[in-house]
Amino acid sequence: MRFAALRLPAANQAADAEPGWSAPDSISAADILRICSPFLAPGSGSPESSHSAGLQDLSRLRLSAIDPPDLSGPDSLTFLGPRVPLRVRASMRAALVVAEPAIEPGSGPGNGSSAPVIRVHSLPAAMAAVLTALESRILREAPYASGSGNRIAPGAVVEGCLEGDVTVGAGAYIGKGSFIGSGTVIGPNAVIQEHCRIGRNCVVQAGAVIGCAGFGFYPRFPMAGNRPELLAMPHPAGVEIGDDCWIGAQTVIAAGVLHPTILGRGCKLDSHVQIAHNVRLGDGCLLASQSGIAGSTVAGHRLRMGGASSVDGHLRLGDDVSVAACSGVTKDFPDGATVAGFPAMPIREWRRQWIKAKRSEGTRED
């Protein structure tokens, strides 16, 4: 399967002309500056603040993708927030960066430190405005006819594509632009929202929801009066699930914002598991019931999570990490780590602390 970011029309790809764009067949940095204009910090767009030669040069800078910083390329637009690690800032290769005034791209081998930077007062508001304005210009795969041998139960609604030999249970919904691989079983009342891709030979049990908007909100800017209003962030990037995956009953996998939420090949999720927006899991991950991963965390292959365990957002977990039941992970862990407790720590350290606490309790009782 192909895990794709949000792609924009390139200069050689035809598109319908729309008023207000610098070119009918591509997106320029000047278009992004115009969309962000209601949120610009003082002086943004000038040569000094944006590290560019001014708006004329921005109009010549063409963009073909919207990527998160760690996946950005030489033709990418990216948004740089305060929780992006310095190592990612140093290596990103974006062509254009949108950031708040206090956030600086790092210096390193990538070109992120020399890319033009559009400074905005509210990064979430600017990001939402860009995603909303470009929604109709995001390149999606052209729909094609479903294959043969599909079994669709009464009451199911299928607006997407079934590759063939797919079973869809009663009351299930598969949204427009979604793709379901051959041999996959979609249980009763499961919901696959728009622009999701599920691989071959997967199981999605009853009541699971894949591709819903994530729990992402931002304050309206500028604020109207003294009462802050929270607005929902667009989630146009969908979900990508590899082959041979198992999604338990009532499990929820939220759609991504700039990049699909990803489950690699062979992942197994128990019932009542929560995967937040922008999470990326490697192959062969196992998550027990009531476990959850907060937004934008990236885990390697073969992650193991015990029941009711949790992982905070914007973290990096290596390959073969194991999280004990009821633990709470609040920081990065390397390959092969086994952690327990809250905040989670290496399990040997947790055991020593537990034994020490028990001995202390015994001393007090004596």
- What integer pLDDT is reported at residue 365 of this predicted model? 52
- What integer pLDDT is reported at residue 306 of this predicted model? 98
- What integer pLDDT is reported at residue 108 of this predicted model? 53
The amino acid present at 219, given as its one-letter code, is P
- What integer pLDDT is reported at residue 10 of this predicted model? 61
% pLDDT > 90, the chain: 66
The single residue listed with the structure tokens 């005034």 is 101
Rounded to 5°, angle at Cα 33 from 29 and 36: 135
Rounded to 5°, angle at Cα 67 from 64 and 69: 130
Report cis status (omega within 30 of 0) of the bond before 343. yes
User: What contacts 24+ positions apart, CB below 8 Å, involve 234-237?
Assistant: 234/128, 234/131, 234/132, 234/135, 235/277, 236/6, 236/131, 236/135, 236/138, 236/195, 237/5, 237/6, 237/195, 237/261
Delimit the CATH 3.40.1390.10 region(s) of the chain.
6-137
The single residue listed with the structure tokens 């310095």 is 86
CATH superfamily of 6-137: MurE/MurF, N-terminal domain (3.40.1390.10)
**89: confidence class by pLDDT, cuts 50, 70, 90:** confident
φ and ψ of 87, to 5 deg: -65, -35
How many C-beta atoms surround the C-beta of residue 148 within 10 A? 9
With the C-alpha atoms ordered 269, 274, 275, 281, is the resulting torsion angle positive or negative?
Answer: negative
Which of the residue ranges 142-146, 224-228, 347-351 would you say has the lowest mean pLDDT?
Answer: 224-228
Per-residue pLDDT tens digits for 302-336: 999 999 999 999 999 999 999 999 999 999 999 99
DSSP 191-250: EE-TT-EE-TT-EE-TT-EEEE--S-EEE-SS--TTS--EEEPP-TTBEEE-TT-EE-TT
The single residue listed with the structure tokens 């767009």 is 45
- What integer pLDDT is reported at residue 22 of this predicted model? 53
Has residue 148 got a pLDDT over 60? yes
> How far apart (Å, rounded) are the C-alpha atoms in residues 168 and 184?
9
Helix (H) or strand (E) holding 98: strand 96-99
Query: What is the rounded average pLDDT of the residues 179-186?
Result: 97
- What integer pLDDT is reported at residue 281 of this predicted model? 98
User: For this structure, is 259 an active site residue?
Assistant: no
Q: What is the CATH number of domain 151-278?
A: 2.160.10.10
Choice among 195, 235, 277, 301 that is catalytic: 277
Per-residue pLDDT tens digits for 157-172: 999 999 999 999 999 9
Between 182 and 146, residue with greater pLDDT: 182
Specify whether the CB–CB gap between 340 and 322 falls below 8 A.
no
Delimit the CATH 2.160.10.10 region(s) of the chain.
151-278
- What integer pLDDT is reported at residue 23 of this predicted model? 53
Beta strands at 173-174 and 217-219: parallel, antiparallel or unpaired: unpaired
Most confident of 33-47, 153-167, 351-365: 153-167
Copy the structure tokens of residue 316: 């990096």
Between 176 and 46, residue with greater pLDDT: 176
Has residue 118 got a pLDDT over 50? yes
Specify whether the CB–CB gap between 81 and 104 falls below 8 A.
no
> What average pLDDT is seen over the chain?
87
> How far apart (Å, rounded) are the C-alpha atoms in residues 107 and 365?
57
- What integer pLDDT is reported at residue 169 of this predicted model? 98
Per-residue pLDDT tens digits for 205-244: 999 999 999 999 998 877 766 777 899 999 999 999 999 9
Copy the structure tokens of residue 158: 């299928």
- What integer pLDDT is reported at residue 58 of this predicted model? 80
**14: confidence class by pLDDT, cuts 50, 70, 90:** very low
